[in-house]
Structure 1
Amino acid sequence: MRRFLFLPTVCLALVAGALAEEPPPAAKAAPAVDYTLQPLDLLRVMVFQEPDLERQVRISQEYTINLPLIGLIDLTGKSVRQAEELIRARYDADYLKNPQITITVLEYTPRTVQVLGAVNQPGAIAFTPEQQMTIMEAIAKAGGQARVADIRKVRLTREGPDGKTEIYTINLDDLMKGSSTEKWVLQKGDVIFVPERIL
């Protein structure tokens, strides 16, 4: 009797272990369909059951790509999903019946922020669109603050959606102590300036 009870127990343990190794659905990366395409992004454009139309193309500085049969496509302001629909409509209009288009971003154009002033390695810090970089992480990547840095008066310069320049003064001492809930997630083109202490 013990023999028959033992085997199911082992089987259940193995199944439970296998299930535990499978990441939960929320942990799996979702397709970046809402990512807004940028110049120099490298794309793979695939048309279902039409391998001759598959292309790897890099978006030009004018936000365009060139595809077989349909020619130049303007992707200004388009997300991955919107680009798929635009290309599908162009092929559907004259060449294919209800084509299925899949776009994969093979390489993202680097986004950079500048970290200047009293840091050990000032300069540009690059990060990808799937990353979220905070002001603390950017300063750490710039070698950390110098001994003469005044971390209570760090300036973040950012261009707003309306094109106007916005300047924020940030107390990094509060961030490090955990007394501030603001993480200050960075955006492309941000400039961080760490001033020196006034002696």
Structure 2
Amino acid sequence: MRLVSLFTGRFMLCILCLLLAFSTVSSAAEKLSDYQLGSGDLLSIKVFGEDDLSIEVRLSDAGTLAYPFLGEMDVLNMTIKELSETITVGLADGYLINPNVYVTVLEYREFFINGEVEKPGGYPYQPGLTLQKAVAIAGGFTERASKTKLFIARDKQPDKQLRIKLSTKIHPGDIITIEQSFF
């Protein structure tokens, strides 16, 4: 009887560990898929076994794309997962049986940096980008650059400028301004 109790306890502990591991993997996957699509993103859409339905497309200025059989689709602010599901449902509705659709971002839209950097302008976004990395991409600070007067206008709120630090995460479409230092 004691052996059965010991076995049951260990079995339950193993089940609990497995559930914890799967929830950690699930939450990590959710964090990876929250990128919202916007105009200028270059996407690869692949349908397994259907080369005619596999395309590369850049989102229009309105955040749309033209897809075979489904026409023009408004995908602005969708996640990759949502777009994949939308295309899967559309193709399953009279075109394919059980389509396998995979969507990836080949090129993210640009972020912009101006003010006291060596090479101001627009640069392709890279996942994990911080202000410090963005400044490095733009050739570094000029001699007159302030390290504390750093501002950002987010793509979602272009009229609102926020003061930021070098460790701040940068998103596609952000406009960064580096002010001059007085000394």
Give, in whole Å, the separation in 1 of the partners of 2:162 and 2:100: 45
Structure 1 match to 2:134: 138
> Match of 1:58?
58
- 1:133-177: CA deviations, max 9, x gaps? 22x3333444444444443x413143485665133276xxxx7xx
Q: Equivalent residue for 2:45?
A: 45
* Cross-structure match for 2:14: none
Cα distance in 1, alignment partners of residues 140 and 48 from structure 2: 49
Give the 3 Å change call, closer, same or farther, for CA 157–94 of structure 1 in structure 2: same
* Residue of structure 1 equivalent to 2:168: 184
Task: State the Cα deviation string for residues 76-101 of structure 1 (Å, max 9, x = none).
Answer: 21111100100111111222222211
Report the counterpart of residue 74 of structure 1 in structure 2.
74
Q: Check whether the contact 2:40–2:108 (CA below 8 A) recurs between aligned residues.
A: yes
Paired amino acid for 1:184: T
1:40 maps to amino acid: G
Q: Are 1:156 and 2:151 an aligned pair?
A: yes
Alpha-carbon contact 1:115-1:139 (below 8 Å) kept = no
Q: Distance in 2 between matches of 1:88 and 1:194?
A: 47
Specify the structure having the higher radius of gyration (Cα).
Answer: 1
| Equivalent AA in structure 2 for residue 114 of structure 1 | I
Amino acid at match of 2:34: D
**Paired residue type of 2:112:** V
SS at match of 1:137: helix
| Aligned-residue RMSD, C-alpha | 3.0
CA contact (8 A) 1:115 1:123 kept: yes
Equivalent position amino acid for 1:60 in 2:
S
Write the distance in 2 (CA, Å) between the matches of 1:143 and 1:39.
26
Distance 1:149 1:40 in 2: 30
- Structure-2 change in CA distance of 1:141 and 1:129 (3 Å): closer
State the shift of 1:53 in Å: 2.1
How many residues are matched? 154
Map of 1:124 onto structure 2: 121
CA contact (8 A) 1:160 1:166 kept: no
Gaps of 5+ in 2: 1-24
Question: 2: distance between equivalents of 1:65 and 1:81?
Answer: 16
Tell whether the 8 Å contact from 1:125 to 1:138 is kept in structure 2 after alignment. Answer: no
Tell me the amino acid that sits aligned with residue 87 of structure 1. I
CA distance in 1, matches of 2:142, 2:125: 26
C-alpha contact (below 8 Å) 1:154/1:193 kept by paired residues: yes
Q: C-alpha deviations, 1:7-34, integer Å up to 9, x for none?
A: xxxxxxxxxxxxxxxxxxx9xxx8x643
* Alpha-carbon distance between aligned partners in 1 of 2:42 and 2:125, rounded to the nearest angstrom: 13
Could you tell me which runs of 5 or more consecutive residues in structure 1 were left unpaired when the two chains were aligned: 1-25, 176-182
TM-score where L is the length of structure 2: 0.66
1:43 Cα deviation from its structure 2 partner = 2.1
